[in-house]
Structure 1
Amino acid sequence: RKYLTWKYYAKKILYFLRQQSILKKLREFLQRPLEQQSVLEAAGLLDQYCNPLTVTSLECVISQLDDITEKVRKVLRLKNSTHPSLSAERGEEPELICDQELQRQVLDAINCVLYEQLKFKGNETDYYNPLNSYIHQVLSRRTGIPISLSVIYLTIAWKLGVKLEPVNFPSHFLLRWCRGPEGGRSMDIFDYTYIDAFGKGKRLTAKECEYLIGHHVTEEFYGAVSTKEVLQRMVGNLLNLGKRESSDQSYQLLRDSLDLYLAMFPDNVQHLMLQARLYFHLGIWPEKVLDILQQIQALDPSQHGAVGYLVQHTLEHIERRKHQTGPEVKCHTDEKHKDIQFSIGLIMKHKRYGYDCVIYGWDPKCMMGLEWIRNMGVTSLPHGANQPFYNVLVQDGSCRYAAQENLEYNSAPSEITHPEIGRYFMEFAGMHYVANEELQLRYPGDGELTLQTVTKVYCPPSVSTQDRDQEHMQQ
């Protein structure tokens, strides 16, 4: 509950350092021969990069998959005690099985264990949750999207001697299993059975695959793809999720997935431009923005117009930063702030939506644009936009801008587990948060007001014993 600001920035540094280490591993991984690049390791590196503060080692993931593989062997042993997959020791590299019927037995056993015993399933209810793309989360939650479930399925099959291939099918990633002579490669898409790991391991013909997406596709979409292409699609999924909304979490996801994409394709102008625009929009690292724009200009001179616009405004931003005198100071004692009822550090409850939050900033009236005011229904409030508004960190991890009339003191104030809490506060003091030095400079009088409010609302003066006795006698 203490040193929250130190912890916040320590995590930022650790986040950056670990990501640099993982990015180096990824570049080394991509330099290996294709046959030494496993889809599981690629998925593991993506997971580690997007969750650098979580312990998600590849060894731990492999151990979990080995446990599942042992369960599959037990099922196989009941069906066929002489099955060749039973002879391999845990963790050993298997010998590939050529016989079609023996391969089918393995796939049946995988389906039994994954979907019947362990209850793995496609996450249809929360499909666009980024956790569906992180392999350690898929294993612990037992749910995911087609590509992450395919990585697990393919890896287990390989551990048991059955070679499946990843298929970059549009809108629904698949695996394919060759039904040709002795399981060899074939150029005919109809020689393959396609496996839908999202659909509980259902086996499909080429024609049935089209029913999954509702339209016809050409033969090229049925071909096997490389590990790099699998990783590209996984990163692309996260990129699209990062673009879906505008929040701190989505911006971080967009930054991380862009880093991964550009590690694979460093000269991709489209994604370099997106990275430059993102940094520019967030107002961070302007020198890096200029470096990216210079790279884009060298790669594609036709981007001169867009590059020139961003260069000009980035230089202006750098110049303004040189002349900044400090943050705006807001005091309750100013006449224009006389309607402000609450102060920073107070733990509040939203009257309408019921969420718990802590105040980290305020304005004497709504400072958002007309479009935001209209979209959020501010004009329908009794006091509209012409009332104090508060910046709040919400328990669910979001940051919101709440009208004064919608906030009330929290009857049971408790810690707000928000990732940005240390950016503004240095300590949780039991009933409220104590602002850090930076926030105190911006709101110099709020600390004392918050203490007064906490004393008044949560710690009223106790009634003396004599007063209680007199009151009792009168009753």
Structure 2
Amino acid sequence: MNTTTHRQASILLSLPEEVITSIIFYISESSLVELSRTCRKLYRLCSSPLEIRQRCLTRRWWDRRHNFTAMVDCKDIHKVNWLKLYIHRMNVERTTTRLLDEIIANPTNHINNFNRIVDFGYDAKDTLARHAQVEDDQVDDPLARRFQASIALQYLHRRRALQIWQDLRSGADVPLEVALLAFDLFVITGDSPDIEETLSDFDSLSQLFLSQTPEFYLLETSEKALALITFLWEQGFKACPLGHYRAMKNQFIGLTMRTVRTAIPLTLVAIFCAVARRVGMKAYPCGFPNHMLAIVEAEGNEAVSVSCASASAGAGATAGKSSPTTAANPAAVNYQYYDLFCSPNRHPRLDKQRLLDDLSTHDPSLIPYLLSPSPILNIVLRQARNIINTCQLTSRAEADVINIGYPSINHTYALYSAIAAHVILKPGYSHNYVTQMSEICNSYLPMDVRFLEEEILPTVPEGREKGMLTNVVGALRAQDEMPRTVARRDGEGVKYKIGMVLRHVRYGYLGAVFGWTQECKQGEDWVQVMGVDGLNRGRRQPFYHVVVEDGSVRYLAEESIRLIKPQLQSVQPLMALAGKYFKRFDKENGMFVSNMQAEFPDD
């Protein structure tokens, strides 16, 4: 150590320890490690529980296995091994970044690398979010990095949703809104709110209601229920227009909380129950036939509003926090029934006799069950059926109309969420669901092959179908591990290169090349349908794989496209999928920089 450095170190060490600790807080992790190696005093300060705790608090997301909130709330800082937690987190962040780098650089082994990342749980989320938001001038491969990090985040969210439903299946105490928010985890994108943020929205909504209803705790149960329902209606949580009943947004409680607030009965009841529970009311969903009602349990010695005969065997099934402990004997509980989907001009409370009249054609032994709080598991399955019906009963043209003014939702991922809920929560094997899930994994979500292996294969009966699904799983794994075929340029035959931006000669849409063949490689049926032989150069000309501005992928003949040199603004519609094939956009040359070197080394 030279004289100047020694003098600087002496000045630092002469400062009060609380000042040194404040300085240490602002240095980077790598500098912290180097500084801790200089002397014993700095090692002690750099690794002090207070310093390490502060660094842990700068991380937004932690996996549930740590019970991080309890660690933070612990009054004795020395009872928590903050250094061990911090070292673990640093290792997770380094490994996540390394695995993401491998995914970007190598077209193979993506399934294993994505699954190794999500095995870290939410400990990896901050790192993935940082990569997903990287700026163009920060790295050499911003498009590829943002794309693959976003894919990993979406997979992480899906794995969390599956865990929530697995907990529910095992009898864990899962709140109704959390069980339903798991559906949202399949369709959220970018920096959309996670479950915790939506739960915070419920907390804020509850506090707002109490601030506007200061006399709330002096009211009778029916008055409390009416006050809360009126408040929610005023906040926009009311029946959706019948013409938009099948809008996909209406099936997702998180999207309803933060976008268009009108919704279907089930979603409205779930929101009511979540807020009611936060203000001290006992409220539950009631799966009334062809409808969904809210049950509010009357307090104390208030008049009985509904008295049922003894419930049937299923009425007291585990239903998480939204189910009363007395659900197995509804005759002993004073229930009030409310219709959240009715017009604000009509009183939402329903008369018991009217409900019984509506059930007069049902088996009398089932009536107590139908008027009891529904198990959360049943509510989740019912919402899953709603999503499936929305996907299957709505044509593309109808969906375009009824979803006008609503947030855009990927219907494939929505369907996948519903099927996944059924597979986990409803015992037994369904050929249709297994087939649909296999097709979705094969076409869009190959990393979810793990779900097929862990949750679906064990349920498939031995025989031909199990053999076919085993082959699908094996094929997905093999395709991911197989080295890519290398295409070399042969003379001047192929005109356009990977990354070039093109416009269709006839239809005018924009696209970018991510692959090519020396001649048409599609089957004879496709050639005939597309009229390839009618082209001037027929099938014996180069064909190009092109990602198009509408998000689709096309296989186009060379004579049907022309090269353009666009400005950055012009290619923005391509950016959503560009990261799958390209590293970045080269503004100077007006083309994308290839990330397909393994397959097309000459480009």
Q: Same fold (TM over 0.5)?
A: yes
CA contact (8 A) 1:121 1:142 kept: no
Code of the residue aligned with 1:154 in structure 2: it is C
The size of the alignment, in residue pairs, is 404
Correspondence for 1:5: 144
CA contact (8 A) 2:169 2:377 kept: yes
Correspondence for 1:429: 586
Counting only pairs closer than 5 Å after superposition, residues 161-176 of structure 1 correspond to structure 2 as 163-168=282-287, 173-176=292-295
In 2, distance between residues paired with 1:293 and 1:103? 42
Aligned CA distance change for structure 1 residues 53 and 151 (closer, same or farther; 3 Å): same
3-state secondary structure, aligned to 2:593: strand
Aligned CA distance change for structure 1 residues 110 and 50 (closer, same or farther; 3 Å): closer
Correspondence for 2:257: 139
* TM-fit CA distance, 1:433: 0.7
Correspondence for 1:103: 225
CA contact (8 A) 1:122 1:199 kept: no
CA contact (8 A) 1:355 1:394 kept: yes
Correspondence for 1:230: 379
* TM-fit CA distance, 1:141: 1.0
Cα-to-partner distance string for 1:264-313 (whole Å, 9 max, x where unaligned):
3465454456544554567947787677775235xx35xx2322444467
Correspondence for 1:470: none
Code of the residue aligned with 1:152 in structure 2: it is I
In 2, distance between residues paired with 1:184 and 1:136? 32
In 2, distance between residues paired with 1:305 and 1:385? 42
Aligned CA distance change for structure 1 residues 100 and 284 (closer, same or farther; 3 Å): closer
| Aligned alpha-carbon RMSD (Å) | 5.0
Cα-to-partner distance string for 1:172-218 (whole Å, 9 max, x where unaligned):
544356899736543399x9655244866964869999xxxxxx988
3-state secondary structure, aligned to 1:122: coil
Correspondence for 2:547: 393
In 2, distance between residues paired with 1:32 and 1:23? 14
Correspondence for 1:440: 597
- Determine if the alignment matches structure 1 residue 114 to structure 2 residue 242: no
3-state secondary structure, aligned to 2:571: coil
Correspondence for 1:195: 339
CA contact (8 A) 2:164 2:179 kept: no
* TM-fit CA distance, 1:398: 3.8
CA contact (8 A) 1:391 1:399 kept: yes
Cα-to-partner distance string for 1:50-103 (whole Å, 9 max, x where unaligned):
5486463444223323433344446546xxxxx334x7xxxxxxxxx6443453
3-state secondary structure, aligned to 1:442: coil
CA contact (8 A) 2:512 2:546 kept: yes
* TM-fit CA distance, 1:234: 2.9
Code of the residue aligned with 1:262 in structure 2: it is V
3-state secondary structure, aligned to 1:165: strand
Unpaired runs of 5+ residues, structure 2, are 1-135, 310-329, 356-360, 397-408
In 1, distance between residues paired with 2:597 and 2:424? 41
In 2, distance between residues paired with 1:424 and 1:48? 26
Q: What's the % identity of the aligned pairs?
A: 16
CA contact (8 A) 2:424 2:455 kept: no
* TM-fit CA distance, 1:435: 0.7
- Determine if the alignment matches structure 1 residue 44 to structure 2 residue 165: no
* TM-fit CA distance, 1:231: 1.9
In 1, distance between residues paired with 2:547 and 2:274? 41
* TM-fit CA distance, 1:425: 0.8
In 1, distance between residues paired with 2:342 and 2:508? 36
Correspondence for 2:487: 329
Unpaired runs of 5+ residues, structure 1, are 78-82, 88-96, 210-215, 448-475
Aligned CA distance change for structure 1 residues 74 and 245 (closer, same or farther; 3 Å): same
3-state secondary structure, aligned to 2:177: helix
In 1, distance between residues paired with 2:342 and 2:592? 45
3-state secondary structure, aligned to 1:182: coil
3-state secondary structure, aligned to 2:294: strand
Alignment partner of 1:367 out of 522, 532, 535 = 522
In 1, distance between residues paired with 2:170 and 2:450? 29
Alignment partner of 1:84 out of 208, 216, 233 = 216
Counting only pairs closer than 5 Å after superposition, residues 130-279 of structure 1 correspond to structure 2 as 130-143=248-261, 145-146=263-264, 147-160=266-279, 163-168=282-287, 173-176=292-295, 182=303, 184-187=305-308, 193-197=337-341, 203=348, 224-238=373-387, 250-265=411-426, 268-270=429-431, 271-272=433-434, 274-276=436-438, 278-279=440-441
Correspondence for 1:296: 459
3-state secondary structure, aligned to 1:329: coil
Code of the residue aligned with 1:327 in structure 2: it is T
In 1, distance between residues paired with 2:487 and 2:242? 48
Counting only pairs closer than 5 Å after superposition, residues 13-24 of structure 1 correspond to structure 2 as 13-17=152-156, 19-21=158-160, 23-24=162-163
CA contact (8 A) 2:384 2:418 kept: yes
TM-score (norm 1): 0.63
CA contact (8 A) 1:272 1:292 kept: no
Code of the residue aligned with 1:367 in structure 2: it is Q
Counting only pairs closer than 5 Å after superposition, residues 23-62 of structure 1 correspond to structure 2 as 23-28=162-167, 30-31=169-170, 36-48=173-185, 50-51=187-188, 54=191, 56-62=193-199
In 2, distance between residues paired with 1:18 and 1:100? 39
- Determine if the alignment matches structure 1 residue 307 to structure 2 residue 478: no
CA contact (8 A) 1:179 1:193 kept: no
Code of the residue aligned with 2:256 in structure 1: it is V
